[in-house]
Amino acid sequence: MSQAKFDELRTRLAEIADLVKTASLLGWDQHVMMPPRGAQIRAEQLATVGRIAHQKFTSAEVGNLIDELRDWGEQQEYDSLEASLVRVAARDWEKASKVPAELRAEMSRSAALANPVWVEARKNNDFKSFLPVLRKNLDLRKRYIDCFEIDDEPYDIVLDDYERDMKTKSVRRIFDYLKEHQAPLVKEVAARGQNEPHDHVFPLEQQKIFELEVVRAFGFTDDAWRLDPTVHPFASGTGIEDIRITTRYFDDHLGGLFGTMHEFGHGLYEHQIDPALERTPLARGVSLGLHESQSRMWENLVGRSLPFWRRFFPRLQELYPDTLAGYDVDRWYREVNMVEPSLIRVEADEATYNLHIILRFELEQAMLGDEFPLEQLPDEWNSRMWEYLGISVPDDTVGVLQDVHWSGGSVGYFPTYALGNLISAQLWERIVADVPDLYDGFEQGEFAPLRDWLREHLHHHGRKFTPGETLERVVGTSEIDPAPYVRYLREKLASIYGIAAPS
């Protein structure tokens, strides 16, 4: 009887997963293919699909099936699909059932309508035109938070949507550590004053060729992946064999390359999930922090490493012989790892990136707490940019309007980028120990050992375990530890800038 009920639950969850992936496809199309005048009807379509999926999942029928299967699920092997599906579905149902379907639909609708407004506001440096939709999204988030009992801080509710079980006070403690130990690194580097001026031109056609060659070496295949341009890069798809990553290009630097490697990391995580988990709530990443650890790993720990560039710099120089005349791989390696405070988060170097996240983390809490009139958000942004990075913001396009997240209502997402940086370094120490010839492989263009390790230890399991359980299984502790990341940064910057090496 229990097996029959489990099969019924799985059938219902598969239908819901199909709806969720349909919404994902509509979202991808909106950002990549849809003509601008389609925004209004697309918002209604997303709201409809989101409402139906929410109603089906939070129905009494699904709730009753979960309740009837709890004891049976606990009797199964903890790692099994059966036990994991019942366990995760129960947790998801308990949270989702507190949110009215109409509120969920309105959140989807508002996000879809806000996106084209943000695109135009960003293009025209016009924060005032974005303000009404930002206010609407924040009001909806506050209503969403009000659906739950708050044990500590309201921000905990939205943070948990992206990083399960994480608390605001824990993030604050981690960020305080970074302020204490990472900020001095930036000052030490600045005191060296060794950055070489550079003024490059990288025609886009060669960039597209080079980026595809890189991600194909990583594991991108034309029969399961897509790469398309968009305003703000993201990764999406409809399943394990349908991975869609996006990028954007610049003609004066290779930021698009690093963005593409970043999105490849997200895509690979989804691509390497156990096919047996497809069409279940388990067929995605454990959390956004774990997901970001993968994107930041491929972007930085791989893509900014010297062995990687020993392999790929000759090809880059072949594509840009005039631009890179006089360069050797060591000079190029120093340039792509240059520490220099910047306006744009996605273009920030590894040493300053987390400071961009701390700024956004603080502003999100302040906005939810009505600590200042929302009209003052650009001023609050600009003052923190000066405080943390010593940069004056010339306009809102490269300031408060640069990120897509708030147009989509994604409050609570930003901390996961920094958490992902930290987790990537924790994982990397284990990977290097387990695969001693990893870097030698990079020099030969061989990335399968890294993909295989990630599949076995992380990707294959999908969402079967909590973030804490996942870290415990892989690195031996359930806690996110910032020390390995700071150690990694200091070691790298010591070799480039001659600052003190880690003790």
DSSP for 180-226 reads: HHTHHHHHHHHHH--PPP------HHHHHHHHHHHHHHHT--TTTEE
- Give the pLDDT confidence of 251-263 residue by residue, as tens digits: 888 989 999 999 9
Average pLDDT across the chain, whole number: 95
Q: pLDDT above 70 covers what percent of the chain?
A: 100
- Give the pLDDT confidence of 441-484 residue by residue, as tens digits: 999 999 999 999 999 999 999 999 999 999 999 999 999 999 99
Mean pLDDT of all residues in 305-320: 98
- Give the pLDDT confidence of 337-367 residue by residue, as tens digits: 999 899 999 889 999 999 999 999 999 999 9
What's the CA angle centered on 486, arms 482 and 488, to 5 degrees? Answer: 115
Residue 263 designated active-site: yes
* Catalytic residue (one of 106, 211, 263, 299): 263
Mean pLDDT of all residues in 90-110: 95
Here the tokens at position 77 are 């092997």
Tell me which of 132 and 187 has the higher pLDDT: 132
Using an 8 Å Cβ cutoff, are 129 and 117 in contact? yes
DSSP for 83-138 reads: HHHHHHHHHHHHHHTTS-HHHHHHHHHHHHHHHHHHHHHHHHT-HHHHHHHHHHHH
Residue 312 confidence (pLDDT): 99
Is the pLDDT confidence value at 1 over 90?
no
- Give the pLDDT confidence of 363-407 residue by residue, as tens digits: 999 999 999 999 999 999 999 999 999 899 999 999 999 999 999
C-alpha span between 471 and 290 (Å, rounded): 9
Using an 8 Å Cβ cutoff, are 35 and 119 in contact? no
Mean pLDDT of all residues in 410-429: 97
Q: Which residues have a Cβ under 8 Å from the Cβ of 182 and sit 6 or more positions away? A: 351, 354, 355, 486, 489
- Give the pLDDT confidence of 220-258 residue by residue, as tens digits: 999 999 999 998 899 999 999 999 999 999 988 898 999
pLDDT band at residue 313 under the 50/70/90 scheme: very high
Tell me which of 187 and 158 has the higher pLDDT: 158
Residue 197 confidence (pLDDT): 66
